[in-house]
Structure 1
Amino acid sequence: MLKSIDEAVGKQGEPGAGPHSSKQVRIMPFQIRHRQQVYELYGKIFSERSRVGFEARWEWGRENDLFFDGGAKWVLVDNDRVVGFLNTVPLAYRIGGTTLTAHTPADYMVDPEYRFYGLQLMHQFFRTCANCVSADDVPSTIKVTEWLGAKRAGRLVGYVKVLDGRALRQHERLNRVPLLAQWLLTGALGLRDTVRLAGRNALHVEPLREFDRRLEKFFLRISQRAPAMPVRDLRFLQWRYGPTSPHPTREIAVVTDGGGNLLGYVVFHLSVETHRGLILDLLALPEAGVEVPISLMRYAVKRLRAEGAWTVRYFASPGAMPVPDLRRLGFIRRGDFVLSVKFADPGIQTIATRPGAWNYSFGDSEASHAFI
């Protein structure tokens, strides 16, 4: 067994370490001349459809981010051929009353034939970035992240709600269900939701075209109660859900009090191509009561159904939405993301790894960028 990450990386580069040990494989800072090869590698590893989305969000996510430098990024090259890539996303976080920058590893990819060398990219990330926040759903990636020193800080619990029987077409084992059965299922789901989504005490939910200055006050009130969270100020939200973001057609809805102050908001998105709805962000003041997030979720589900969604995905952070209420609304468990963190300051790390410390939405994560 390897005793350290340095030993592991060292062995990968030694002669005879793998099928490409005779090649000149090395890691180097990304340069603009590598971009086209990175695009091609993304398409090869994931899919050509995914590559289209990756190229579309490159300018937004790599060059026009909140820090205006795109963050550090590296390529793994064999001579002049790009065989691996790793990007970073720098964001501001507020931990225990302190605001600091942490990076998220993003768009990690390695040509399958060079997988023995891929660990070098993650090693470079942790050597370069003192603070790390990452949400992952791939067990092998989570293990490597923890091996390199990150600790589990929470979980985004996955849920799915089926709105239309045609969603069976997207299921490998159920895609041969007859069309008539799909129609009948759609009708049954609609009738059941007529009761589920009615809500006797439902609050008034107001659609919002863009985030406004009320978010600044809302964020301050939330941050006073959450030991750890991203800085979700107006600047962040306008960047994350703006016209050049991966979700330019997102919708926003809010619940306010009698004075127009925000009690909660929801951001949701529909992929027209896949008919999949996604709840990106759902946040409410704890003292406003449970009916605020419930009303926001009801509104989002109704809108997504009306717009043609077959399913709705939601990844809930602890305390964001009561599990019994999610079940009453027809959501079932389906896949989680693990939140891992590593901070150079031991005091910050202690706060960030306390159970229930984080207020973190799926839309805050780099993983959400590819859900289009």
Structure 2
Amino acid sequence: MKKVVVKPMDGPGLEEGVGKLRIRAFPFFPETRDTAFYADVYRWFESHPLADEVHRWVALDGDKVVGHLAATPQYYRVDGQRVVAHTPGDYMVDEGYGFQALSLMRNFFRTTENCVVCDMVPAVIEIETKLGAKVAGEMNYAAKLLNVSRLPMPPVPGPIRRALNLPDSFAPSRGFTDRPGVETEEADEYVAPPAPRPRAPLPGPLKNLLNRGLGAVDEALGRNFGGDLRAEVLDGFDESFDDLFERVAAVVPCVAEKDSSFLRWRYGPGSPQAPVTVLGVRSGGRLLGYAVLRAASKGQDGYVLDLVALPGRRDVTRALLRGIVRHFRDEGAQIIRYRYLDSPTSARSGDLTRLGFFSRRGRRNNLLVKFKDGDQHRMALDLTNWSYNIGDGEASFWLR
């Protein structure tokens, strides 16, 4: 075996090797075989305002790519100062090359001054913390069921199963854990997908009746939720998003910089998540809050990638939540997923519960930070200083 070398990835010459590595690293996820998608993501980064600060490293055993790590940049406002922080992502090594995982991450921390990481894989978090990042805390994860087809089937005692002439086992369904994109990162180890939960074989008429009942309950719960405010579908990101961001940044000490230019890059044409639906709440001609929505898994899963309201405007977040539920139900989604930090700009847990969302504690992401400036680092370590959604970081770039 030749000596393994870790080096910067300059140019597209090794892209094919990285694609093959990704398939080997995640063999249970068929989306990794669409190598063109991942290459397109890195081409998309060439249009980033900080494109010159995108870094990638590979570990090579001869001509074979056995490891890969990318560092993606973003502007943040921390205590009123504009700073650049990087996020490690697309991190993988071949079996038998575990030591190179540490070498790759060392290159990341030697090259970057600041980092903000949204991660949930314990082995990766352990490496990141060994090299200087600190866990600020857990993000919240709320989900809402829109279709009874996604309910797991409870165990049925043998006598009842025989009396009802039910089969010994039911056909598996995707359930809550097995889906493409971000959810594939929810297992503690990238080894095998979680076992699917069996689907309850509900007759079609009964299933339709129950789903109509869920919809009626949602309408009742959402009535007058948010007062007279209404969320409307917006046509892209105009200058009103600049005004909203500056008003948020004036109050919230730590926030990803999301003006209209950035949001057009992040979610507009050419983005891996395009097209998205943007809901907004306006009053007196000013934007009070917005949400960015994306359907994945052939439309079955609805994701709230971003939700921001003026600090303290709970009526705005309520109106957005009501609009989110209605939108995804109209689109035929079966479940809604929302990952966020509890903050004055986010939806509040009590309001989510009132609309039928439930918390998923076992699948929460952690926010890790490391800033060169000591004061900024201490401020970023306090979760109460942050406004942050899953769409603000690399964790959602691969959502399909």
Asked if TM exceeds 0.5, the reply is yes
**TM value normalised by structure 2:** 0.83
SS across alignment from 1:309: coil
* TM superposition shift of 1:51: 4.1
Which of 239, 247, 255 is the equivalent residue of 1:221?
247
Q: What is the CA-CA distance between 1:108 and the residue it aligns to?
A: 0.5
Tell me the distance in 2 between the aligned counterparts of 1:198 and 1:48. Answer: 42
Match of 1:212 in 2: 238
- C-alpha contact 1:93 1:102 (8 A) present in aligned 2: yes
Aligned residue number for residue 119 of structure 2: 136
Report the TM-score, using the length of structure 1 for normalisation: 0.89
2:397 is paired with a residue whose SS is: helix
Q: Is the 8 A contact 1:153 1:354 kept in 2?
A: yes
Instruction: Name the CA distance, whole Å, in 2 between partners of 1:272 and 1:145.
Output: 30
Q: Describe the superposition over 1:56-98 as per-residue Cα deviations: whole angstroms up to 9, x where unpaired.
A: 423113x222212361110011011001100111111111111
* Counterpart contact for 1:227–1:357, Cα < 8 Å: yes
Contact 1:165-1:184 at 8 Å conserved across structures: no
Secondary structure of the residue aligned to 2:356 is coil
Matched, 1:179 2:190: no
CA distance in 1, matches of 2:39, 2:383: 37
Question: What code does the residue aligned with 2:331 have?
Answer: E
Alpha-carbon RMSD: 1.7
Which residue in the other structure is 2:179 paired with? none
Q: Does 1:269 align with 2:251?
A: no
User: For residues 110-259 of structure 1, what are the structure 2 equivalents within 5 Å?
Assistant: 110-168=93-151, 169-171=173-175, 172=195, 174-180=197-203, 182-199=207-224, 201-258=227-284
How far did 1:222 drift? 0.4
| Alignment of 1:347 onto 2:375 | yes
Q: Assess if the C-alpha contact under 8 Å between 1:71 and 1:90 holds in 2.
A: yes
**Other structure's SS at 1:118 match:** helix
Aligned residue-pair number: 348
* Pair 271,70 (structure 1): closer, same or farther in 2 beyond 3 Å: farther
Which whole-Å deviations, capped at 9, do the CAs of 1:107-128 have from their partners, x for residues lacking one?
A: 1011123223211111111111
Indicate yes or no: 2:96 matched with 1:109: no
Which of 359, 362, 371 pairs up with 2:390? 362
- The Cα of 1:188 is off from its aligned counterpart by 3.4
> Structure 2 stretches of 5 or more lacking a match?
152-172, 176-194
One-letter amino acid of the structure 1 residue matched with residue 174 of structure 2 = Q
Q: Is the 8 A contact 1:64 1:70 kept in 2?
A: no
Displacement of 1:192 in angstroms is 1.9
One-letter amino acid of the counterpart of residue 5, structure 2: R
Is contact 2:294-2:303 (8 Å) kept? yes
The question of whether the paired residues in 2 share the 8 Å contact of 1:154 and 1:356 is answered with no
Query: Residue 330 of structure 1 aligns with which residue?
Result: 356
Q: Distance in 2 between matches of 1:182 and 1:56?
A: 40
**Structure 2 counterpart SS, 1:294:** helix
| Deviation per residue, 1:141-168 (Å, 9 max, x gap) | 1121111111122432111111012224
Distance between the aligned counterparts of 1:202 and 1:189, measured in 2? 24
Q: Secondary structure in 2 aligned to 1:351? A: helix
Give the unaligned 5+ runs of structure 1: 1-21
% identical aligned pairs: 36
1:272 to partner: Cα distance: 5.2
Distance 1:78 1:369 in 2: 28
